[in-house]
Structure 1
Amino acid sequence: MQKQKGGAEKVKSWLAKRVGNSIKEGIISGLVNNKPTAPIVFNGSCDTVLLQVWVEFLIKELKSGQGVIMDNASFHKSNRSQELIESVKCSIIFLLPYSPDLNPIEKFWANMKRWTIY
C-alpha cells in the first residue's frame, strides 16, 4: 500500500476477472462485530439447500443467545434452517420486507463491492 499525506495508507481496489455471463459467483457470510463469519463461496444462485449447508457452518460459530438477522428471501424461511439455528439456542430475526437498509451485512457487502473492479 502507498502512503498518502498524514500517514494514512491508500486503499487499493480488489480485482476480479469477469468470464462472460456463464458463471455467476456468490458468497454467503454472517457478520459478527463487523467481521465475516462462516463465509462460503459458491457458483450459481442461492437456494434452500445451499442456505442449509451454510447454516450448518454458521451454527458452529454461534454462541447461545445470539440473534441471526435474515431478510425475507423465501430460502431463508425453511423449517430446517430455523431448526438448526434454534438448536444452538439462538434466535432468528426476520427483517421487514424490502428493507435491506436495516440489515448490517448489506452495508458490509456494499463497501466490499465498492472496492471490487470487474
Structure 2
Amino acid sequence: LKNKTDAAGAIHNGKLLNRVGSLLLPELPQNSAAVTDNAAFHKRADIQDLIEGTGHTIFWLPPYRPDFNPVEKYWARIKKIRQDWRLDCIDTLFFYFMRICTVF
C-alpha cells in the first residue's frame, strides 16, 4: 500500500478490507505469500478470507521479541541515562550526546 494510500486512514476509517482488495491483491502474482505482523486489524477474518480466497497464503511473523533485537538493548541504556540525568525529553539527551561528540 506504500505510496498509494494513507494506511493509517485506511485502518482508522475501516477501509482496510477495501484497500487490500483493490490495491494489494491486484499487484500480487498468483499464489503469493502475504507476510504480516500480528496487529489486531491484520487478523480480521474478512481480510484473511479475502487474501486466502484469492489463492494466496498468509504467513504470520512471530510476536515481537525485544530480547532478540540488539537495538533494544541500546534503547534501554539510553532510557536509563535519560532517567539518571533526569531529563524530560529524549531529544534533550540526544542534544547533549551530539554536543559531547562534536567536542572530541
The structure carrying a bigger helix percent of its residues is 2
- The answer to whether structure 1 residue 52 and structure 2 residue 17 are counterparts is yes
Larger Rg: 2
Judged with a 3 Å threshold, the aligned counterparts in structure 2 of structure 1 residues 48 and 83 are, in CA distance, closer, same or farther, namely: farther
Relative contact order (alpha carbons < 8 A, sep ≥ 6): 1 or 2 greater? 1
4+ residue runs of structure 1 moved beyond 6 angstroms?
Answer: none
The structure carrying a bigger strand percent of its residues is 1
C-alpha displacement at 1:61, in angstroms?
1.5
8 A contact 1:48–1:76 mirrored in 2: no
Q: Which amino acid aligns with 2:56?
A: C
C-alpha displacement at 1:44, in angstroms?
4.6
Sequence identity percentage: 31
Q: Return 5+ residue gaps in structure 1 as ranges.
A: 1-28, 30-35, 102-118
Q: Return 5+ residue gaps in structure 2 as ranges.
A: 69-104
- How many residue pairs end up in the alignment? 66
Aligned-partner Cα distance in 2 for 1:94–1:42: 19
TM-score, scaled relative to structure 2:
0.51
TM-align CA RMSD: 3.0
Q: In structure 2, the residue corresponding to 1:39 is in which secondary structure?
A: coil
Q: In structure 1, the residue corresponding to 2:14 is in which secondary structure?
A: helix
Aligned-partner Cα distance in 1 for 2:19–2:10: 13
C-alpha displacement at 1:45, in angstroms?
7.3
1:66 to 24, 32, 45: 32
Aligned-partner Cα distance in 2 for 1:97–1:43: 21
TM-score, scaled relative to structure 1:
0.46
